Chain A
């Protein structure tokens, strides 16, 4: 059988990706996680003296602490299978990527195992975030220097 023929056959038999269902699940779960985060910001503003500008840090830290618990008890994995991007895109997903790698590689020791592997999944986010910020700032700086833009 030719490769082209096989590809057609394979496509006919394989169930298609449930695009709509996945999108709806991602929307709902992502929305819920952000809503929980929103509730936490209210909590910090009301009961502690954080302002709208400074509440971001404790909120994100709290969310990641929660993601540690969910990851450690194997619950984030179930959430991820259901929600896809709905659980991967929020910072809790970033936390899950780092924490699950750390837990998994404990067997190789603290230095080489945890230390060497903790950013296996999340490293690309940090790399691209930093690199992107660098280039965007550089471009802005150039534009400001030649008088086209302002800070």
Chain B
């Protein structure tokens, strides 16, 4: 279902923070801060994860010259069980908080909720976004960090990064949210957790197609359609799906993926980056900057998420996925 925002809430500030490995990212220069210790000098990975979220939100508020007491709502989530790091960061931020779990699509679902609250008039300023920390997620979903397992070429690397945005009333000098699509859960029976791109591509296809159809738009109405973390192979699968549905090559050039580009051509990262922080960090740094400078006028950001758990995998279930999208314009 597509939501059209009559009041067009704007993104008044944005911040992205990343860990030491992310210095290898092609988007490195757009991030606000890179930290040397992936644990943020805390005792555990989860505490470091929490500190990272805090730091990213503080950067956002500082840029807008506001304090946490000026913010009405904090909407966010992460991939750790019960979203513990976000919960603890929310405690320290002391802003009314609702946690959201859309896996790696939380970067967009949180903005959608924030925009709805703004459109409703219930919120003047909200902070929304998502994050991920590599070690915490690796040990929860896959193996202990020092385990010598062999990952296939379709596997992706979970980034250590956080991306947040300040959503407020419409301001023509800033990028604005004009429409959004909340995705359905799509499951094509994929069971391989080392091939998330393949599991998530159909969800991205469905959400993008729905958005374009209901908005009466074509690919060429946009300067860019960027998915969250399909990775190099997932992106290829998505492009093939679009080709089979009649999209031309010149239109396909507009389709990019944050995860596929994140680490550039470095083979060590296999099929690319993933994690809630991947799309969040790229969207709320690089994309916003390109919109502000006028290089992009209209973009469709479609983050994808795999809704599996370590338990569902062990129980032999397939991987249901979803994708949420927002349409941003710059006047």
Residues on A facing B (Cβ under 8 Å) = 1, 3, 6-7, 9-10, 12-15, 17, 22, 71-72, 74, 76-77, 79-85, 87-88, 93, 96-97, 99-101, 103-105, 107, 120-121
Contacts and interface: CB of A to CB of B under 8 A. Distances in A.
Give the secondary structure class of A's interface: helix
Interface stretch (B13-21, B151-159, B248-256): B151-159
Contact of A107 (B45, B146, B149, B198): B45
Please list the 6 inter-chain residue pairs (A to B) with the smallest Cβ-Cβ separation, ordered nearest first.
A80-B148, A104-B144, A84-B150, A100-B146, A100-B144, A100-B147
8 contacts: A7-B189, A14-B198, A14-B237, A71-B148, A81-B151, A93-B148, A96-B146, A100-B144
A81 B150 contact: yes
Nearest to B136: A107
Which of under 10, 10 to 19, 20 to 34, or 35 or more describes the interface residues of B?
20 to 34
A150 to B, nearest CB: 42
A6 B188 contact: yes
Give the secondary structure class of B's interface: loop
Contacts of A82: 150
A74 B190 CA distance: 31
A17 B151 CA distance: 11
A77 B146 contact: yes
Nearest to B46: A107
Nearest to B139: A104
Contacts, number: 91
A14 B233 contact: yes
Contact of A96 (B147, B237, B241, B244): B147
B148 A10 contact: no
A7 B237 CA distance: 11
Contact of B148 (A7, A81, A101): A81
A12 B237 CA distance: 9
A113 B145 CA distance: 15
Contacts of B148: 71, 76-77, 79-81, 83, 87-88, 93, 96, 100
B145 A3 contact: no
B189 A3 contact: yes
B29 interface: no
A15 B153 contact: yes
